[in-house]
Chains A and B, each alone.
Chain A
């Protein structure tokens, strides 16, 4: 095979490179092009779509194009955040794949000059009855814990879904949130001809060569174990030193700009710094600290060795920079210089090894139009897991134990969620994680969500729901959303069905963010998530950060004996795309439409109620419907309930089953004293009193049907996951 094809470039792209260079690229130049022109780096199938997303807002400090997004939270501080995928590496080698996924997203936030204060993860696997799935889950959870715990950064939340289309192609998305003094944040743009380029952190080795192009930008196939050498090996200890080193360098005002080395290594970091700054850059590979002495120039330029940072430094400050690196016992070296040539020159001991115009390398990759086509029918399979004829009580218990709904405490207990002394609520103790920010006298809340199954049913509508779910989660702890990050995980965009899913989903995200008045401040796209058995569910993972004035009023409590229970919001329950429909093997295309403004009004009502302290318990209706959310509140508190959903059936003219197990956006269950709940009314948001908290049973009447289960039974089912993972 021709060399350029081996590296993942098409014939047309190779011709274009020759045309731009006016000659054939040599080996090092071709390797560099192949990475920066890969889907992973160039976003060549998604960039045109992403341009439609709203990115501006009064609180935005840094938006798309920087290493991470950032929003102002007052008193001179900003919150930086971003989510990124490490899907294929984790499918090939789960422990290191997940660990380096966490390491990579931490560096993006560190590179802004922020100190990471929280990690969240969004994970997708096949069903737990598969031995391979259990192996992946165990490895991924251990890998996330290994990196975050060792770095002393708390993992405070996340979600895990188990669905058959992820069986061969799991998803590992990690989100990092950091805090920075706004005026100390650094950008990634190189500046100042004659300034020095300093590489510090780990030595450069042969690990991860070709990760971005060969692994991340192609479909997974049989025999991918052979690709293990393209997976990087993580060293959280090194990253911990790099973090403290960066903080000390920035506190002493020693850096002009800073960039992490991630996918495509030095090529991408140096190239993007020069591109952003409109400069040129010279890198001498002979000056790069190496793990193996005999590395080729192209290997040094494309190595994805972890835990490395690149800084632009005023020549007068170089000695001070190297001294701080030395204090933190991390390698550092001046490896090049910023130039005014607009050219990326690769030297070895002063001898020219390659030169490429920065604009050709970084911005020259052709952007492709998609060729979307809506599939005529449901392209994913169906599996029946629920006994035919199961009564509502049996269904309710079965849903609580459904792998995607059941408690994920098994995983969260393996993560340090408290280091840093900020964690007010971690995942599981509230719908959103809540972190105290005494620096600016408030708290932040973070949520991450993306139900791929519902997006598969209707990509536009499903993506709107994912964003609304995040905002609803924030409302339940009294937080107002400030900004959005996202990771778009899809199959092969060159196939019309996936192209349709991707374009519809981005339109949905745009509509949701516009409807909620929220900027998208950063994101990541992961395509080619498919195997010979087909594409994954289209999975836009949305991360949302919000603020709340008083963490002591962050809700997150379960209900108490004697509380009244109410349903609030324009919730219109439907079985389409629901957990119950999945269990019955009846999934198909289509979801009901959602009007965003009434949902937004309900979100704001709940947020204000929680903030004022009048609402202690708020939980949005999500997977498994009202029956599931009521059961969860009951098993957390140990007290049951006696409620009727007849008002829901009357208002929405829906079936008993729709009311009990139907899903959709816009519904919240509130609990508290009757007067406080009723006082929330009158703002045009529906409030229906359902009943009381009492007894040791969850009793839910819906028309002619009823769920009647013991709280203890509900708890046993909800906590059944560990025994199904560690078999």
Chain B
């Protein structure tokens, strides 16, 4: 399995995402923002960071990068796409995922280890986890408050598109319904604010994030 990890000017966690994929047993390739083909790529990660400085609005400029056009096509064909933090924001801006991410309640950047509760979902990304399971993964962001208008929120809830919620009392940013991550309707595109790629080594934290990176392998290969 070969993962393509997107790289925009201002990306921060792309090497960490590569490292996580490799620890999960896959190969990786960095995809520079102006590439137009994803030939040979089995899955895509849109990593964390501050693409294009996140000036204007988080994720708003990256959605126009040539590589994102290729990602849209890849996702439409059912390919697995994971957006982490800034990647989640980019996928929302691109229309691949529902909703939007707003500035944290409290306005400050937060960085701390926390717990997520896995939700009922048919997404391949969650195939190695059980609904109701709690995983320990770091939160780090300043613009992570999940928002969707009432009708959209109701729809993603009823379609089981909520993949992860912050554990009770741990919502760090004021996200609606404690939502930490959502999928598209088909389930092949997942976005989440917390950082599974920073939960892959007992030395630097937990290893719960590995389950996520192993998820699509069985489905795709």
Contact = CB atoms under 8 A, between A and B. Distances in A.
Interface in A368-418: 412-418
A414 B109 contact: yes
B78 interface: no
Contacts of A418: 111, 138, 140, 195, 198, 204-205
Nearest to A330: B9
Sort A-B residue pairs by CB-CB distance and give the 10 closest, nearest first.
Answer: A152-B12, A237-B53, A421-B16, A150-B50, A418-B198, A145-B109, A414-B109, A237-B10, A241-B9, A416-B140
Contact of B111 (A238, A417, A421): A417
A202 B53 CA distance: 14
A423 B204 contact: yes
A425 to B, nearest CB: 10
Contacts of B32: 327
Interface in B22-49: 32, 48-49
28 contacts: A145-B108, A149-B109, A149-B111, A149-B140, A152-B49, A152-B50, A237-B52, A237-B53, A238-B53, A240-B9, A240-B50, A241-B9, A329-B9, A413-B110, A415-B111, A416-B12, A418-B111, A418-B138, A418-B140, A418-B205, A421-B15, A421-B16, A421-B197, A421-B198, A422-B204, A423-B204, A424-B204, A436-B204
B204 to A, nearest CB: 6
Contacts of B198: 418-419, 421
A178 interface: no
A236 B50 contact: yes
A421 B53 CA distance: 21
Interface in B85-124: 108-112
A162 B166 CA distance: 35
A142 B204 contact: no
Nearest to A145: B109
B221 interface: no
Given A236-B50, A240-B50, A424-B203, A419 B108 contact: no
Given A149-B109, A152-B49, A436-B204, 13 more contacts: A142-B108, A149-B140, A150-B10, A150-B53, A151-B12, A152-B12, A237-B50, A327-B32, A416-B111, A418-B198, A419-B198, A421-B200, A423-B204
A419 B109 contact: no
Nearest to A443: B203
Interface string B4-16: 0000011111011
A151 B13 CA distance: 10
Contact of A152 (B13, B55, B110, B142): B13
B19 interface: yes
Contacts of B108: 142, 145, 414
Interface in A661-675: none
B204 A241 contact: no
A500 interface: no
Contacts of A205: none
Interface string A533-552: 00000000000000000011
B201 interface: yes
Nearest to A424: B203
A328 interface: yes
Nearest to A238: B53
* Candidate in A149, A241, A328, A415 with the most chain B CB atoms within 10 angstroms: A149
* Candidate in B48, B108, B205 with the most chain A CB atoms within 10 angstroms: B108
B9 A328 contact: yes
Nearest to A423: B204
Contacts of B54: 150, 237
Contacts of A150: 10, 12, 50, 53-54
A102 B58 CA distance: 23
B13 A415 contact: no
A84 interface: no
Contacts of A436: 203-204
Nearest to B19: A421
Nearest to A151: B12
A416 B19 CA distance: 18
Contacts of A424: 203-204
A238 B197 CA distance: 25
Contact of A551 (B48, B52, B55, B203): B203
A65 interface: no
A240 B16 CA distance: 16
Interface in A49-93: none
B50 A419 contact: no
A150 B49 CA distance: 7
Contacts of B140: 149, 416, 418-419
Nearest to A241: B9
A679 B140 CA distance: 43
Contacts of A420: 15-16
Contacts of A241: 9-10
A328 B55 CA distance: 17
Nearest to A329: B9
A420 B195 CA distance: 12
A149 B12 CA distance: 9
A235 interface: yes
Contacts of A329: 9
A552 B202 CA distance: 9
Interface in A419-436: 419-424, 436
Given A416-B109, A419-B16, A421-B204, A235 B53 contact: yes
A422 B15 CA distance: 12
Given A413-B111, A414-B109, A551-B203, A419 B52 contact: no
Contacts of B109: 145-146, 149, 414-416
